[in-house]
Amino acid sequence: MTIDISQFVQAFLDESFEGLDLMEVELLREEALDREQVDAIFRAAHSIKGSAGTFGFAAVSEFTHGAETLLDEVRDGTREMTVEIRGLMLEAVDRIREMLVAARDGGEHDPARVAETAERIEAMLASAHGRVGAADAAPAAPLDAPPAEATPASGGETTPGEAEAASPGNDGAWEILFEPAPTLLASGNDPLRIFAWLAELGELGVHCETAALPALAALDPEQCRLRWRLTLEGAVAENDIREAFEWVEDQCTLTLTRTASAPAATPDTGTRTAVEDKVATGEAASRSTPAGPAAPTVPTPATPSPATGGRPVGANGAPVERRADAASIRVATEKVDTLVNMVGELVITQAMINTIGHSAEELDARAVDQLRHGLALLERNTRELQEAVLSVRMLPINFVFSRFPRVVRDLSATLGKKVNLKIIGEETELDKGLIEKLVDPLTHIVRNAIDHGIESPERRRAAGKPEAGTLVLRAGHQGGNIVIEISDDGGGLNRERILEKARAQGMAVPEQPSDRDVWQLIFAPGFSTAETVTDVSGRGVGMDVVRRNIEAVNGRLDIESTPGEGTRLTVRLPLTLAILDGMSVRVGEEVYILPLTAILESLQPTPEQLHTISGRGRVVRLRGDYIPLVPLHDLFDVPATYQRPEDGIVVVVESAEDRAALFVDELIAQHQVVIKSLETNYRKVPGVSGATIMGDGRVAMILDVDSLTRLHGTVH
């Protein structure tokens, strides 16, 4: 039976990216790595290499092999984990990620960059730099030295990297005793694949021993009762042989012995010939695709094809489609169990309500009480089910924060600055959709903090500060929101410089602007205070996009800055993109939803509180402040019940730029609503962020407060 493994490619990519993230996190640790951490890095590289070979990503497997070998030397103590090796491994992580992203998106990576990093890894492997005891190493053994003793390894305890009995350049032969565990075949592994691999290393002789085979009536086809004696002639290194068996190292007993010449294999009638014929004629699978412990045995794995733009193709020759947005979520078992339990409770409650309805033609007082009780249970179970479902999409924000140690390390080195990064609250959970949309904005904010905020070591010394600046990423819950703070102890924003640049660019600047007004100027498109354009900044593209992206997910961005002490940017986001706590308001016959987090207060104004100011239109005077009045019926051109604000209700809301007083006819209720994308199902509507379906089946628009205030300014 042929199994198309292309269906597992997305899972391989997800696991590989997780492995790369783990490698990066461990390599960026400031302290010295212990054995457990080095093992974790090695295992991640080992898994990526093996899986890449299985799924046809030969370039990834070949490149990762060099990195794995270098890590293995660190793991077995023959080489120290120096700063140079850490940097080289981080570079290797980048190259592997580039190749996997190109394969996932159907694009191309830069082979020259991959080759350059591979050459540096090979050069490091060939050098004695970093080797433990390299200066005191014993002289090489003469060519006529006696052969080494056998190197047995049972139960998967084989140790790649041990001293080899002979160098790769020596002639001779290896005698290999391979005794698989009975469960080897059931796990999907095929010895013929291993033999095909070995046959590419040299001249292979195969002798199968069948003495342990039971009688035919007692034979279990899923149990392996064979063992093999192999001879391999040629200049083959021990590590190369062990590599062929690495997929089954925990499911076999393996003994390697170096001999001067290949002994003649004793054929076992009817057995050896068949095996050798398959290996010799190439009917076994190629060396590049040994089956993993959980991988199916397949004759044709997905392999990259030039005709399909370098994308892998399946067994049928069709390109394997991979979408960048076809991401998966790994869900904890207890979350799934909770979900199952909630569904069960919901079914029981529904059955109870149905029973009441069928058993009473006319509901008496007792039946009404039972029905009310059942509806209350249904409401509670529905809410708990909703929370359980939402929790499945919740991931720790560390999925975003974990990439910043690398960003800080690389950028501070490029700019010649010293920066210490502190991460607080990385376990805070938020919706996966929000996490994906936060990566780019937060990355730009962090880069800006290092480039514009934190000073050079010389300037910090002159200001009486430590040479190394501190950048803090903090996340936590505040009310119904997620709050993310990015703060630094740098020089802070320069008020006069920002105003000077804004006036030079022809931007509208108030005569006596507050600090809040000045800080908002940096979000204007094309604004930059950088003197020169560099790879990091100076093009005026960034902060306006950052705010737009955060507002697109119903978030807010605030800035606080103190000259000489630092800057803090605060991002406030909803817990999820699927559910919104809102207030429903009525304007004429229409119902709109206002996000509860944007509402400050509501009131029925008196005529004395209403004024008209030149250049600002009608305003509401509230505790000494004049807040612009925004009649929703004018903005959306709908008939209203009340034309005078004093007859209706004014809802004071706060946007990223200012406050506004929304004039509506009536407040209806506060409730949670399910957000539906209006843009996906219809088109983008100014002032509206989405829609929802109310309990009576009517569609209500969810208002975008930030967009409303800007829209009112243009209309007015």
Q: What is the pLDDT of residues 527-538, one digit of tens each?
A: 766 555 454 554
Give Cβ neighbours of residue 522 (< 8 Å, ≥ 6 apart).
493, 498, 529, 543, 559
At 485 the pLDDT is: 93
CA distance 171 to 148: 14
From 351, 370, 391, the end of a domain falls on: 391
Contact indicator for 404, 520 with CB cutoff of 8 Å: no
Task: Examine the domain organization and report whether 422 and 378 are in the same domain.
Answer: no
Q: Is residue 324 part of a domain?
A: no
Task: Examine the domain organization and report whether 385 and 437 are in the same domain.
Answer: no
Task: Examine the domain organization and report whether 376 and 414 are in the same domain.
Answer: no
Task: Examine the domain organization and report whether 598 and 679 are in the same domain.
Answer: yes
For 92, phi and psi rounded to 5 degrees? -65, -40
Average pLDDT over residues 287-313: 36
Confidence of residue 329 (pLDDT cuts 50, 70, 90): low
pTM of the entire predicted model: 0.55
Task: Examine the domain organization and report whether 387 and 404 are in the same domain.
Answer: no
At 652 the pLDDT is: 93
Per-residue H/E/C for 427-443: CCEEEHHHHHHHHHHHH
| Residue scoring higher pLDDT (610 or 211) | 610
For 415, phi and psi rounded to 5 degrees? -90, -5
Q: Is residue 136 part of a domain?
A: no
Give Cβ neighbours of residue 556 (< 8 Å, ≥ 6 apart).
550, 571, 572, 655, 656, 706
CATH number, position 43: 1.20.120.160
Contact indicator for 173, 233 with CB cutoff of 8 Å: yes
pLDDT, tens digit (0-9, with 9 covering 90-100), for 377-413: 887 877 777 777 777 777 888 888 888 888 898 899 8
CA distance 574 to 477: 10
pLDDT > 90: percent of the chain: 15
Counting the structural domains of the chain, the total is 5
- 229 SS3 class: strand
Confidence of residue 664 (pLDDT cuts 50, 70, 90): very high
At 307 the pLDDT is: 36
CA distance 248 to 254: 10
CATH number, position 472: 3.30.565.10
pLDDT, tens digit (0-9, with 9 covering 90-100), for 10-62: 778 888 888 898 888 888 887 788 888 888 898 888 888 888 877 778 889 88
Task: Examine the domain organization and report whether 560 and 422 are in the same domain.
Answer: yes
pLDDT, tens digit (0-9, with 9 covering 90-100), for 64-115: 998 988 998 888 888 888 888 988 999 999 999 999 998 888 888 888 999 9
Q: Range of 369's domain?
A: 333-391
From 524, 546, 574, the end of a domain falls on: 574
| Residue scoring higher pLDDT (305 or 566) | 566
At 169 the pLDDT is: 42
Q: Is residue 316 part of a domain?
A: no
Q: Is residue 426 part of a domain?
A: yes
The answer, yes or no, to whether residue 314 has pLDDT greater than 80, is no
pLDDT > 70: percent of the chain: 75
Average pLDDT over residues 564-587: 84
> What string of DSSP letters covers 95-141?
HHHHHHHHHHHT----HHHHHHHHHHHHHHHHS-TTBTT-TTPPPPP
